[in-house]
Chain A
Amino acid sequence: MLLSVNSMQKMLTIISNVLKGSASKNVARVVAARTYADFTAEATFDVKKCDTHRLDDAPPTKSVLTREDALKYYRTMQVIRRMELKADQLYKQKIIRGFCHLSDGQEACAVGIEAGIKPTDHLITAYRAHGYTYTRGVSVREILAELTGRRGGCAKGKGGSMHMYANNFYGGNGIVGAQVPLGAGVALACKYLDTDQVCATLYGDGAANQGQIFEAYNMASLWKLPCIFICENNKYAMGTSVERSSASTEYYKRGDFIPGLRVDGMDILCVKEATKYAADLCRAGKGPIVMELQTYRYHGHSMSDPGVSYRTREEIQEVRSKSDPISLLKDRMLANNMASVEELKEIDVQVRKEIEEAAQFATTDPEPPLEELCNHIFYNDAPLEVRGTLPWTKLKSIS
């Protein structure tokens, strides 16, 4: 049973923190009696078999999960969950304005995909992007500060909710479906530059009916681009259910000549295995591939949508109680002795703290200075003069 020094130290810190915090509780004595040697280092879990389209095999139905990874995935999903809920709160306080599309409920997609690809791979998605912005390396601080439109935001307040970028992460895109040809283009660059990188190109069940996606399917297939087309099917495109928008709701088959997988998007291990399978396929030059993740969003389409006019509260509640991605992972971890309840609670406490601090920053950081209004129109360009609202107003733009 080999555990890395790092994770051992982490565990000891967690345990000692719990001790400090709850010296008076009986629980502490129970925790003190347990050492790292009590936890399972690694366990194998069954994952649902993916439906396949034009594939002779499928992703494995067993997934090996280490304690370290389990804790990491748990934490990451909790960060996304709490970050989105914090955004909800800030929006209702009118500190965030404009569009805000939340992804609570869909955490296993972002975290599972990231687990299945490498940091050197690429990812692009549409506007429900906060979770992906985080998994691709941007801090919660910078994400929230971008939502609140402050200078400390990852796009300096210039982009907002739908336009966040990071290394190998191309946003954050506002026009439904436009990101799909873009993603195929990123994959083209991967192939052209002879890297073994892939591009995970995400879109929703609503976007799945966009013509440009079929144009991208055709070219990606023709040119064998290492592109994983991923349809995050959360059953509703704004207020339109999949039955009302799509003649075929088998989104994993929509690529026709492109092989496809239908994946349980609430099970992070299923998403991880499928993504890894898809990425391997692309790296072997057999791309592209389509992956449909069946998932669910708890919030409405955006903050202006209560989300209950086109679906029932019972439905939402049912998913929450039976298929919540974080609960599913947590139950697995506890049932297999991969972590303790206290340990996970401690992670929750830390996550809450991280989000609170980030929100504090996001609400107190100053807004971008007006002098920077016109910057970055161009990249790597000489400074230029920009007309202001009045003919004699000459504003400055530097790149």
Chain B
Amino acid sequence: MDEELERDERVFLLGEEVAQYDGAYKVSRGLWKKYGDKRIIDTPIAEMGFAGIAVGSAMAGLRPICEFMTFNFSMQAIDQIINSAAKTSYMSAGLQSVPIVFRGPNGHATGVAAQHSQCFAAWYGHCPGLKVLSPWSAEDAKGLLKAAIRDDNPVVFLENELLYGVAFEVSEEAQSKDFVVPIGKAKVERQGTLITLVSHSRYVGHCLDAAAVLAEEGIECEVINLRSIRPLDMETIESSVAKTNHLVTVEGGWPQFGVGAEICARIMEGPALNYLDAPVIRVTGVDIPMPYAKILEDNSVPQIKDIIISVKKSLNI
């Protein structure tokens, strides 16, 4: 964000606690000190209002980054995101653009219970006119956010609170001020031969961990990091399935109408169906509002053992 704020004067950040508090999760630390009140704006607790203000400012020539403290609160503002931002380019036949980024943590954390733990990938991923991104690694986060800010369209950028504290190795290339990751392209994080694991955000890490365990048994998994929920890179998934013949999807969100469900539908509609030796297995969050107690919460979300079991089931091992 710092690089993009420096690069383009029209970029600014608004949201609750983003300025003087340095960000609820410290993501915007140091920015207010550097850029001041004009460009880093603390808002009152008024999501519908400030999201609308952000969209309006984008319509009038600015490039806002609108932070939701978590995407759970974006539900208050969802009308502005969908009806005022996403649909406008189409409704105006290209006369009115809305270059805006909505970002914040998405999905569950730990111990924050039902109202603070929902994953919105499927809801936002459903809507034409939006680009929806879900980074996993630090490279993803940086490159995709820069791409999102530079994009002239509304982008929903789904971060993850639990990933904020995870350290990643970052390449030389990724440290450049112009390092941008293309929107709509998945990344193969790990090459494999026997089975394809597809995931986004935090669960990419789980897949890689599962793959490491399975590798010891000689099962080499290919792990794909979606990076982009919308547009969804089916080509990368299909090429991988053509090679491995087996597919498991992993996500933190609920199963019904979820990201995995969409992948299954598209696999079935596309060329990769003929390459499948087994049905696709979706590993998802449990279909319940998130409980609070640790044991309950831990068992409400995919665990590494769930991925391992699915792989073996798919491979009939």
Partner of B59, one of A156, A170, A192, A193: A170
Instruction: Determine whether A319 belongs to the interface, using a CB cutoff of 8 Å to chain B.
Output: no
Q: Is the CB of A158 within 8 A of B56?
A: no
Cα distance A165–B54 when bound, in Å?
A: 19
Chain A residues within 8 Å of B60, by CB: 122, 170, 185-186, 188-190, 199
Instruction: Determine whether B20 belongs to the interface, using a CB cutoff of 8 Å to chain A.
Output: no
Chain A residues within 8 Å of B90, by CB: 158, 376-377
Most buried by A among B43, B54, B55, B89: B89
Partner of B61, one of A124, A165, A193, A386: A193
Chain B residues within 8 Å of A174, by CB: 83
Partner of B152, one of A193, A199, A381, A392: A381
Cα distance A192–B49 when bound, in Å?
A: 18
Q: Is the CB of B46 within 8 A of A219?
A: yes
Q: Is the CB of A165 within 8 A of B52?
A: no
Partner of B96, one of A170, A178, A399: A170
Instruction: Determine whether A260 belongs to the interface, using a CB cutoff of 8 Å to chain B.
Output: no
Most buried by A among B91, B152, B269: B91
Within 8 A of B (CB), among A178-196: 178, 180-190, 192-193
Q: Is the CB of A178 within 8 A of B80?
A: yes
- The total of chain A residues at the interface (CB under 8 A) is 52
Within 8 A of A (CB), among B72-94: 79-80, 83-84, 89-94
**Known contacts A376-B89, A399-B94: does B57 contact A189 (CB below 8 Å)?**
yes
Instruction: Determine whether B132 belongs to the interface, using a CB cutoff of 8 Å to chain A.
Output: no
Q: Is the CB of B89 within 8 A of A186?
A: no
Residue of B nearest to A381 (CB): B153
Within 8 A of B (CB), among A259-292: none
Cα distance A70–B48 when bound, in Å?
A: 42
Chain A residues within 8 Å of B165, by CB: none
Instruction: Determine whether A380 belongs to the interface, using a CB cutoff of 8 Å to chain B.
Output: yes
Partner of A378, one of B12, B44, B91, B129: B129
Cα distance A159–B57 when bound, in Å?
A: 21
Within 8 A of A (CB), among B28-49: 38, 41, 43-44, 46, 48-49
Q: Is the CB of B56 within 8 A of A170?
A: yes
Chain A residues within 8 Å of B56, by CB: 124, 170, 181-189
Cα distance A215–B51 when bound, in Å?
A: 11
Instruction: Determine whether A369 belongs to the interface, using a CB cutoff of 8 Å to chain B.
Output: no
Cα distance A166–B83 when bound, in Å?
A: 18
Cα distance A392–B266 when bound, in Å?
A: 11
Within 8 A of B (CB), among A346-396: 375-381, 384, 386, 391-392
Q: Is the CB of A192 within 8 A of B94?
A: no
Chain A residues within 8 Å of B95, by CB: 154-155, 165-166
B76 CB to nearest A CB, Å: 9
Residue of B nearest to A168 (CB): B60
Chain A residues within 8 Å of B57, by CB: 185-186, 188-189, 192
Q: Is the CB of B52 within 8 A of A178?
A: yes
**Known contacts A174-B83, A178-B52, A219-B44: does B58 contact A185 (CB below 8 Å)?**
yes
Cα distance A189–B98 when bound, in Å?
A: 13
Instruction: Determine whether A325 belongs to the interface, using a CB cutoff of 8 Å to chain B.
Output: no
Instruction: Determine whether A109 belongs to the interface, using a CB cutoff of 8 Å to chain B.
Output: no
Residue of A nearest to B89 (CB): A379
Chain B residues within 8 Å of A219, by CB: 43-44, 46, 49-50, 53
Instruction: Determine whether B138 belongs to the interface, using a CB cutoff of 8 Å to chain A.
Output: no
Within 8 A of B (CB), among A143-189: 154-159, 163, 165-166, 170-171, 173-175, 178, 180-189
| Interface CB pairs A-B, < 8 A, 17 | A155-B92, A159-B91, A170-B59, A171-B96, A173-B84, A178-B79, A180-B52, A181-B52, A182-B56, A182-B59, A185-B59, A186-B57, A376-B92, A379-B94, A379-B97, A391-B269, A399-B89
Given A181-B49, A182-B52, A381-B153; 14 other pairs, CB 8 A cutoff: A163-B92, A165-B96, A171-B91, A173-B84, A178-B79, A182-B84, A184-B53, A185-B54, A185-B59, A188-B57, A192-B38, A212-B52, A379-B94, A380-B153
